[in-house]
Amino acid sequence: MTTSLTDDIRTAFSRQAERTTIDPSAEFGDGPLRLSFDPPHRQRPRVLMPALVAAAAVLTVGGLVVVSELRARDTANVADAPPVDVGAKAIGVFPAGGLDAVTAAGFATPESVVDAFLADRTQPEALPDGYTATYSIGTTARTGDDTAIVGFNLATENDSGDGLLLVQQVAAATEPERWVVLNGGITTFTIDQMGYRNGQLTGSFTNDIGGSTDIYVYDAATGERIANATGSPFTIDGLDAATVSVRFWNTVADGGYPIAVFAEAGVNDGDSVSGLGAESLRPAYTEALQAAQASRPVFDGPISAFEGLEPGQTINIVSADEMTLDVVYGDPAQTELVYCVGIGYEGRNYSANTCYTAADIGGLNGNFNADALDFSTVLVGGVVPDAITEIRADDGTTITPTDNMWWQVIDAGRQVTYTLVADDGRTADITLG
Amino acid sequence: MLSDHGDREPSSFDDFFRDRYSATVRLAHLLTGSNGIAEELAQDAFAQLYPRFDSVREPKSYLRTTTVNVCRNWHRRHRRELERFGRHGASEDRATDSIDELIDVIAGLPYRQRAVLVMRYWLDLSEADIAHSLDCRPGTVKSLHSRALAAIRKELP
């Protein structure tokens, strides 16, 4: 290589792209995959599918049919599940010990059970030897009356990974809510397949990061570790449990440094499960977040600071060494009026192309995340219409918009939910970070 | 995430398809290393966008993320076959010089590492936009990027 590696990578991609053969007469619908597209009139069912997939997935995991017996509503898709004894049978990977344990622990929200789950899994005695990890909880997406997917981040000293956990409410409709963790993990790790029959556990997984993976098997009803293995595929014989909870820790990458890769799922004796983990949860999670976004109130009123600008005019709102925020006149060459902001933050300059339409801003989607150059902090904020008079962060901070803009600096890796309050009392939540 | 909301999209899906088809096929080629499957994956990405085209605010961004996802799914389904080719055999392009050798090494990277390189050095996306397309945080993009470069340096003389 005579130039820098990054230059060579650009050259390599250019060369490979030049070699791409493209049918110049191609039209939409050509090719063998055309059958996979839904015509517009089927859009609604397609949107609903991920929620159903998420609900169906619980059938495959440790004793979850308990739920269909306890809560009749909205469970038509699980009605064919074979009945099981409630008793002490496991109903997820956390907490261990069945419904009594869940009730005693009192996990009243998806976030509380995920917090307890991750705290348990990252305590020193639960981790592989010499390994340390911390976690933070991200955004929750409700995928059904009784199911939710919760985002989280797992970090080691020099690595972090984002993940998703599927949780379910298992208490009877007349009782206080009780949530359990069903399965999930970091997005770079997928449990391709697991089967458990006559005391033999088999399985395989995909880990995009490389390195080696330790597998720990627990009796899901008692929480006792009963076996371990390494690598994929794996086979473990001689297990004595009705349901096993299988925990994966990939602690060292190919380069030798500690990494943050974790996944966990359960399987009943006699069952085979596949496609578990964050990747399988991602579609439902994304759809649920998009649905929540679409359900926000819309404000059609003015965005005064921007609308009074003349060509070439900029209003500076913040000017400091580490942060500049400008309201910028939208380019009149655009086919639609746009509202632009100039953002400079901690060594980065995002001023070139941060523009929103009135619909973006009225729908409370005119938000930004700007990373510091060293990735230590994040500048979050947004452009809001005149109607929004206050922003309340979940840490208790209250922010008043200035010239239709608001902002806050938060630590990298943290997610904050902001409640935008309108002058007519309407509110909307957004999560940034 | 920061993005170019000012770069408006063509109003009809047909226009949008004609405008973005070639770029999407090339992106799929770079993400999979397979020219043969790239057009099919591009069609699949457009098919996923089609029913939502009128409601999606940023079709280009949506199409890019969808393309990354369909290519990842293809990669997962064909992982076993790709592994049989070996680390230097995954690309269809035969190595004749150092750049071709680099193409082969990139083709052997784990999918998300390769996707980060493609989005950063081919699409010139910011880490924030890459994170959005990969549905992860910018810190994860940084980590995947550094791992990818380290892996390439390890493989190349």
Q: Average model confidence (pLDDT) for chain A? A: 76
Let me know: does A233 contact A203? Beta carbons within 8 Å. Answer: yes
- CA A357 to chain B, closest CA, distance in angstroms equals 7
Spatial distance between the Cα atoms of A37 and B129, rounded to a whole number of angstroms: 26
Q: Which residue is closest to B136 within chain A, CA to CA?
A: A162
- The SS3 of residue A277 is strand
Query: Is residue B3 over pLDDT 80?
Result: no
A34: DSSP letter: G
Task: Write the DSSP assignment of A338-349 as a string of letters.
Answer: EEEEEEEETTEE
Most B CBs within 10 Å, among A2, A16, A261, to test the B interface: A16
- Poorest-pLDDT segment among A175-179, A278-282, A291-295, A370-374: A370-374
Q: What pLDDT was estimated at residue A373?
A: 64
Contact A20/B106, CB-based, under 8 Å? no
Between A and B, how many residue pairs show a Cβ–Cβ distance under 8 A?
178
Which residues of A are less than 8 Å from B46 in CB distance? Answer: 28
- CA A242 to chain B, closest CA, distance in angstroms equals 31
- Poorest-pLDDT segment among A71-85, A410-424, B73-87: A71-85
Query: Is residue B25 over pLDDT 90?
Result: yes
pLDDT band for position A310 (cuts 50, 70, 90): confident
- Find the DSSP H helices in A176-303: 278-294
Give the residue among A376, A313, A373 at the shortest CA–CA distance from A339.
A313
B4: DSSP letter: B
List pLDDT tens digits, range A5-47. Answer: 888 999 999 999 988 888 877 777 653 332 222 222 212 222 2
Q: What pLDDT was estimated at residue B151?
A: 82
- CA A101 to chain B, closest CA, distance in angstroms equals 33
B118: DSSP letter: I
Spatial distance between the Cα atoms of A280 and A282, rounded to a whole number of angstroms: 6
Which residues of A are less than 8 Å from B111 in CB distance? Answer: 208
Q: What pLDDT was estimated at residue B118?
A: 95
Neighbours of A173 (CB within 10 A): 12
- Poorest-pLDDT segment among A106-115, B89-98, B148-157: B89-98
Please, what is the end-to-end C-alpha distance for chain A in angstroms? 39
Q: Which residue is closest to B55 within chain A, CA to CA?
A: A294
Contact A20/B25, CB-based, under 8 Å? yes
Let me know: does A229 contact A236? Beta carbons within 8 Å. Answer: yes
Query: Is residue B24 over pLDDT 90?
Result: yes
- Poorest-pLDDT segment among A230-234, A320-324, B18-22: A320-324
Higher pLDDT, B50 or A90: B50
Which residues of A are less than 8 Å from B143 in CB distance? Answer: 159-160
- Residue in A34, A187, A357 closest to B5 by CB: A357
Taking CA atoms, A77 is separated from A55, A339, A425, in Å, by: 8, 46, 39
List pLDDT tens digits, range A252-292. Answer: 765 566 777 899 999 998 888 887 888 788 888 988 887 87
Which residues of B are less than 8 Å from A295 in CB distance? Answer: none
Q: What backbone phi and psi angles, to 5 degrees, belong to B113?
A: -65, -45
* For range A187-194, the mean pLDDT: 86
- CA B156 to chain A, closest CA, distance in angstroms equals 9
- Residue in A21, A42, A188 closest to B35 by CB: A21
Q: What backbone phi and psi angles, to 5 degrees, belong to B131?
A: -60, -40
Give the residue among A369, A373, A362, A359 at the shortest CA–CA distance from A410.
A369
Q: What pLDDT was estimated at residue A375?
A: 65
Spatial distance between the Cα atoms of A222 and A236, rounded to a whole number of angstroms: 19
Most B CBs within 10 Å, among A20, A41, A252, to test the B interface: A20
pLDDT band for position A348 (cuts 50, 70, 90): low
Q: What pLDDT was estimated at residue A99?
A: 78
pLDDT band for position A323 (cuts 50, 70, 90): confident
Query: Is residue A191 over pLDDT 70?
Result: yes
Cis peptide leading into B157, omega within 30 of 0? no
Q: Which residue is closest to A261 within chain B, CA to CA?
A: B140
Position A205: which residue type?
A: F
A16 touches chain B (CB under 8 A): yes
Spatial distance between the Cα atoms of A201 and B60, rounded to a whole number of angstroms: 44
Which residues of B are less than 8 Å from A213 in CB distance? Answer: none
pLDDT band for position B93 (cuts 50, 70, 90): very low
Q: What pLDDT was estimated at residue A431?
A: 81
Higher pLDDT, A103 or A69: A103
Which residues of B are less than 8 Å from A43 in CB distance? Answer: 51-52
Which residues of A are less than 8 Å from B63 in CB distance? Answer: none
- CA A161 to chain B, closest CA, distance in angstroms equals 6
* For range A188-216, the mean pLDDT: 88
- Poorest-pLDDT segment among A65-79, A113-127, A168-182, A380-394: A65-79
Higher pLDDT, A302 or B144: A302
- Poorest-pLDDT segment among A209-213, A281-285, B78-82: B78-82
pLDDT band for position A407 (cuts 50, 70, 90): very high
- The SS3 of residue B12 is coil
pLDDT band for position A393 (cuts 50, 70, 90): very high
ipTM rounded to 2 decimals: 0.84
Q: What value, to the nearest 5°, has the Cα angle with vertex A66 and ends A191 and A240?
A: 60
Contact A46/B4, CB-based, under 8 Å? no
Tokens representing A54 are: 């998420």
Q: What pLDDT was estimated at residue A226?
A: 95
Q: What pLDDT was estimated at residue A3?
A: 56
Which residues of A are less than 8 Å from B93 in CB distance? Answer: 16, 19
Task: Write the DSSP assignment of A337-396 as a string of letters.
Answer: -EEEEEEEETTEE-TTSEEEEHHHHHTT--EEEEE-TTSSEEEEEEE--TTEEEEEETTS
Query: Is residue B89 over pLDDT 60?
Result: no
Contact A26/B21, CB-based, under 8 Å? yes
Q: What pLDDT was estimated at residue A158?
A: 62
Please, what is the end-to-end C-alpha distance for chain B in angstroms? 37
Most B CBs within 10 Å, among A13, A274, A357, to test the B interface: A13
pLDDT band for position A413 (cuts 50, 70, 90): low
